[in-house]
Structures are given as structure tokens and as C-alpha cells.
Chain A
Amino acid sequence: MTTAAAPVPAVAVPAPRRTSAVRGRVTVNAVMVAMILYFLLPFWWLVVAASKNNDALFSTAALWFHSPGSFFDNLQQLFTYNDGEYLRWMGNTAIYAGVSGVGATAVATLAGYAFAKYRFPGRNLLFSSLLGAIMVPATALAIPTYLLLSKVALTNTMWAVILPQLLNPFGVYLVRVYVQESLPDELLEAARMDGAGELRVLWSVALPTLKPALVTVLLFSMVGTWNNFFLPLVMLNNDKLFPLTVGLQSWYQGALIQSGANALFTLVIAGSLVAIIPLIVAFLLLQRYWRGGLTVGSLK
């Protein structure tokens, strides 16, 4: 019945230290809660604002609900405004992110594997230029790329947004490091001894081992394209080709120009909310992959 007799594991911590440990714990928890609140603030505001109609948006407290019933009206408006241009932008974004993401990952995989496992002329030169390329700022490249693509009449097409993003020097670097760390030559040799051709070795032996690295490269290139603003802004004139980022910004500008009581504000807000949900869900679901991927090649 009574537990008094049960041996209690001795806690060797002297009393003063224990209180300081408790105090430390309270401080740490307080810091965490404060930072969580700060980082959640814009999300909270977005959810609240997306549930308001245009009048309430301007006249009621910004951080609390007022007319939550408007949420579905806002969504309906969002998807139907201007012949459903939001849905079109969403589709464009999915195409840009999907095609560039998959393409960039494929190219980076082949190149990273080749750098790690084959010798070929120009290998060292190409690899050093790749390291340099990682440091070339992407936005400094966007305007020159625009000028070049306009020479060959490719601006204002989907290709102008997709093609430049197929080049992912960092992805190549990551795959190379990962191949070196996790794919011993002996394993490839064994497959060759069994009579597998080079492509077969790559497909059936190397790729399955490389999966975590590939998911990381894929996820980060897709997010990179999904979030990109500067490149499509520079490349595209035609609003039918806009991705969400450029489209939402154009709505926002439109709302400001037409000033105050404009329903576009509610669209910008609802549109922002809908746009960020897929990415947040993807990150939460794929946590274990990207977290593992981030440590790829980090110091042991």
C-alpha cells in the first residue's frame, strides 16, 4: 500500500543547485514561449484576417475574429475573381515547381554521381567552377539571363522560369558529397561483377542508397522555385503565366492603387493563406527527410 518504504533513487543534486536549475528551466521555457508567439504572430493574423470581410478588415481589432462567416465567401471570391486567375497561378506555380524541381534533381544526381565515381576530361576544372558558381548570387544572374533569353525570344514563356532553375550547383555538390560518404566503390564493383551495365548500376544500386539526399535536393529545389519572386518577375509580362508570388504582389499593388475600400485586400489575404498551406504541410510531413538531408556532409 504505502510507498514510503520503496527505495527512492537518491538525487545527488544539492539544494541550491536544484533551485538554480529550476530557475534556468523556467527562463528557457519563457524564452521559447516568447519566441513561439513572435514567430506565430503573422500566421495568426493571416488566419484571423482571412475570416473577415472587407469592412471588418479595416474597422475591427486586427488580431481577433469578427465576422468568421466571411471566410468561405473570401475563398469563393478568391477562386472566381477574374475568371479564376488565382487557380491558374496556382497551376503555374505547381508546374514551375514540379518541372524545375524534378529536372534539377535529375541533373544534379547524374552530375554529382559522375563527379564522385567517374574520371573524365575536364572534371577538375568543371568541379572548381561549380564551387565558384555556388557563390554567384542568383539575383545578380537574373537580369543578365533575362537579357540573354530575350535575344532568343524565350522571355515571357514558361521556359524562361523553368530552364534557369534546372541549374542547381549546390544540389550537385550535395549529391557528390553524399555519394562519396555512402556509396563505396566495392558495392558498385560487386554489381558490375554480376554483369550489370553502368546505367543499371546507377539505377538499381546507387539511386536507392541516395534517396535521402535526393529527397532533400528535390524538396529544396521545389521550395526554391515555389517561393521565387525575382526571376519570374523579371521574365514574365503576361499575367496568365504568373506564379502565385508575382500574382499576389500584382494584386497587392492593384489594391493599394485603388486605395482603401477595395475587395482586393481580402483576396490578397485569402490568397496568401491558401498559398502557404501546401508548403507548410509538405515540410511537416517530410520532416525526417529534410532534417536528415541538412546534415548530409556536415562535419562529423
Chain B
Amino acid sequence: MSLLRQQGPALAPSSPAPAEPLGVRAVGGKSGRRTSGLSARARHRGMGLLLIAPFTLLFLAFLVAPLAYAFWLSLRTSTLVGGDHFSWFANYKQTFTDPQFLSGVRRVVVFGVVQIPVMLVLALLGALIVDEVTSRLAKVFRMTLFMPYAVPAVIGALMWGFLYSPTFGPVNSLSHALGLGKVDLLSHGLMLTSLGNIVTWQWTGYNMIVLYAALQGLPREVYEAAKLDGAGQIQTALRIKIPMISSALVLTLMFTIIGTLQFFTEPRVLEPTASQVISPDYTPNLYAYNLAFQYSEFNYSAAISFSLGAVVFIGSYFFLFATRKRSGLK
């Protein structure tokens, strides 16, 4: 997942204003002195095109072309008997009736419904605390929570995988000492919780920092006014701070949902430890990966990747639309 993806608040401000008056006009205005208006305009066009060219090339090569190619592939079917042929939307029909794909989708939805609120509430709580408290402890708190963000997801999952291990992890000996008996955190019943713990550990601090940045941007006078009206700190937090950063909250929520639908790294790392529990179709993305690289079903894998991308894209578009008032996008 892209790391910049969660910088939600930044998306909020200028639902891009229609082309501002640019240098073009200004230069044109005093053009008589140096060069004719037309050639200045042309020069600006040329500069714009020149500066944008590297981005445009990359955009075409690594976004448009792969999507187009995947779409083309997804419309074909390749079999030993029938060869490679055009099969229209057969792969998509299969995707949306494939019980393996659908159970993966259901799993990430269940996962997200629990994990996302837990994480965002923790992040919000942390942000409110560091916004209010300025002690040295609060500083340590802020840095500690953010540290997991700097850890590659693979290493986060490896560390927790060791901690969960029934043979030498501390969790088991702890539960044993408490008389709770054997707790297998890598079992069927607890796997989603264990994965949720890893993701929460990894991303809470990042979301906290984003929300904290939004809180820091609020005008302080409002708090003074609230205090004069007799609001305590908790009331100020609930009735003033949280509503005022709702746009940041909505956007962190959206980017977290996008991340959850792509869930891959953590289940993939724990897969060999718990192969009985994490099946090749555990999450949609893991399924697409395994179809392509274990079973060489590239056409079908392309259809699943494409569907997943489309669902995320359309979903986030509607989400932004539905919450446009809150998110500040017009």
C-alpha cells in the first residue's frame, strides 16, 4: 500500500479550483517589453508540457497500460484444449460467483468492521491526548506509537508471528501462568483477531499523527470560548474537537478501508506458520496472487485484480460523494 495514501487531510482542502490565473496571463501582460504575447504564451505551454512529460509517461506506462492490459487479458480465456480465445465477461461472471473469492471478500469485510473502528478510536484517543498534554511522557507516547509505521509490514508480521508462536512465544506462557490454559493465537478461531492486532499495532500511530496534525490546525480561541461556557476537557473534545476534524477522520477512514480491501502482507507472512488456517484464498488479494503465481491462471487472476481495483475505486468515489459535506470536498 502506498505510504502517502493515508495523508488524508491533505486531500480535503482545494477540491481543485478551476485553473487559477497563471503566469501566462501575467507574462502576456507585460509582454511588449521582452517578447510578443503569443510567443510568451507558447513558451509557457511548452514549459508546462516539458515539466509534466515525465509524469505523463510514467502515468501511461505504469497505470493506464497495466490496467488496459489486465482488462484485455481478463476478457480472454486460455485452456489447454481450447487455446487462447476471447471469452467476453466469462471471467467476471466466474469471479462474482466464485465461493472462494466471495468468502475472502466476506472475511476482509468482517475483519474491517471490527479492526478499523478499534484502530481509529485508539488513534483518535491518542491524538486528543497529545493535543492536550504537553508533558515529556506525551512526547515519548507520540514517538512510540508512530514507530511501528517505520517498520516494514513483513517485519511487523514476523515479530508478532514469533510472539504468537505456541512453542516459544510469551503469550502462551503468560496465559498458562494465569491459569487460562493453552491459547493458540494462530488457530481458526483467533487468526483474524491476531491479524487485526498486527494491523492495529502497525497503523494506529500513523493515523494518530494525521489526526493530531488536523487538531493542531484548529484555532485555539474556540477552546477558550468553550471553557468560558463551562465545558470541561472531555466535553471540548467530544463537542468541538472531534466535529471539527471530521474531514480528517472521514479521509483516514476511507484510506484505511482501501488498505483493508488489499489485505495481503500479514496473512502471506503467517501463511507458512499456519497453513491449516490461512488458505490460498484467505483474502481476495492473496487469492489473486496465488492464482497467478501458483496456478498460472493469469486471465482469471487479472479479472480478480481488476474487479478488486474497480470495487475499491467505485467504493471510495461513492464514499467521498456520500460524505462530501463532512470531508470538505464539494
Q: Which of B21, B125, B144, B173 contacts A61 (CB 8 A)?
A: B173
Interface residues on A, range: 35 or more
Residues of B within 8 A of A36 (CB): 140-141, 144-145
Instruction: Give, as a whole number of angstroms, the nearest-CB distance from A98 to chain B.
Output: 16
Given contacts A36-B141, A114-B48, A299-B328, contact A294 B213 (CB under 8 A): yes
* Contact between chains at A230 and B70 (CB < 8 Å): no
Does B52 contact A198, Cβ atoms closer than 8 Å? no
Contact A136-B313, Cβ < 8 Å, known A174-B10, A185-B26, A297-B9:
yes
Other-chain contact of B52, A111, A140, A164, A275 (Cβ < 8 Å) = A111
Q: Does B97 contact A (CB under 8 A)?
A: no
Set A120, A124, A143, A260: member contacting B288, Cβ < 8 A: A143
- B168 near A57 with CB under 8 A, answer yes
Complex formed: what's the CA distance from A224 to B149 in Å?
Answer: 10
Q: From DSSP, what is the main secondary structure of chain A's interface residues?
A: helix
Chain B min CB distance to A196 (Å): 12
Closest chain A CB from B55 CB (angstroms): 4
B residues 150-177 near A (Cβ < 8 Å) are: 150-156, 158-163, 167-170, 173
Quick one: closest B residue to A269, CB to CB?
Answer: B162
**Least CB distance, A297 to chain B, in whole angstroms:** 4
Set of chain A residues within 8 Å of B129, measured between Cβ atoms: 28, 31-32
Does A147 contact B69, Cβ atoms closer than 8 Å? Answer: yes
**Which chain B residues (285-303) contact chain A, with CB distance < 8 Å?**
285, 288-289, 292-293, 298, 301-302
Contact partner, B70, options A35, A147, A282, A294, Cβ 8 Å: A147
Is there an interface contact between B213 and A185, defined as CB atoms closer than 8 Å? no
B54 and A124: CB pair below 8 A?
no
Helix, strand, loop or mixed for chain B's interface? helix
Report Cα–Cα, A43/B162, bound state, in Å. Answer: 12
Closest approach, in angstroms, between the C-beta of B9 and any C-beta of chain A? Answer: 4
In this assembly, does A71 line the interface, its C-beta being within 8 Å of a C-beta of chain B? no
Residue A167 lies at the interface, judged by CB distance under 8 Å to chain B: yes
Contacts of A272 in B (CB 8 A): 155, 158-159
Q: Contact at A245–B152, with CB atoms within 8 Å?
A: yes
Known: A110-B54, A147-B298, A276-B151. A294 touches B27 (CB 8 A): no
Query: Counting CB contacts under 8 A, is B43 at the interface?
Result: yes
B269 at the interface (CB under 8 A from A): yes
Q: Cβ of A58 and Cβ of B167 under 8 Å apart?
A: yes
Taking CB atoms, residues of chain A closer than 8 Å to B298 are 147
Residue from B158, B214, B261 in contact with A268 in the complex, judged by beta carbons closer than 8 Å: B158
Asked whether any CB of chain A lies closer than 8 Å to the CB of B111, the reply is no
Query: Quick check: A140 and B69 within 8 Å, CB to CB?
Result: no
Are A118 and B22 in contact (CB-based, < 8 A)?
A: yes
Binds B, one of A8-16, A76-84, A127-135: A127-135
Contact B155 A62 (CB under 8 A): no
With a cutoff of 8 Å between Cβ atoms, the chain B residues found around residue A264 in the complex are none
The answer to whether residues A298 and B213 also contact, given A129-B59, A143-B292 and a CB cut-off of 8 A, is yes
Q: Which 4 A-B pairs have the closest CB atoms?
A: A118-B48, A120-B48, A140-B309, A144-B70
Q: List, sorted by A's number, 18 A–B pairs whose CB atoms are closer than 8 Å.
A: A28-B133, A36-B140, A46-B159, A111-B52, A117-B23, A120-B44, A132-B313, A133-B59, A135-B313, A143-B292, A144-B69, A166-B58, A173-B11, A252-B158, A280-B150, A287-B143, A294-B7, A294-B10
Interface residues, chain B, CB within 8 Å of chain A?
Answer: 1-5, 7, 9-14, 16, 19-24, 26-27, 43-45, 47-49, 51-52, 54-56, 58-59, 61-63, 65-67, 69-70, 73, 122, 125-126, 129, 132-133, 137-138, 140-141, 143-156, 158-163, 167-170, 173, 201, 204-205, 209-210, 213-214, 216-217, 233, 247-248, 258, 261-262, 264-265, 268-269, 272-273, 285, 288-289, 292-293, 298, 301-302, 305-306, 308-309, 312-313, 316-317, 328
List 8 extra interface pairs beyond A35-B126, A137-B309, A144-B302, CB under 8 A. Answer: A29-B137, A42-B156, A45-B162, A107-B55, A137-B313, A185-B23, A249-B269, A299-B12
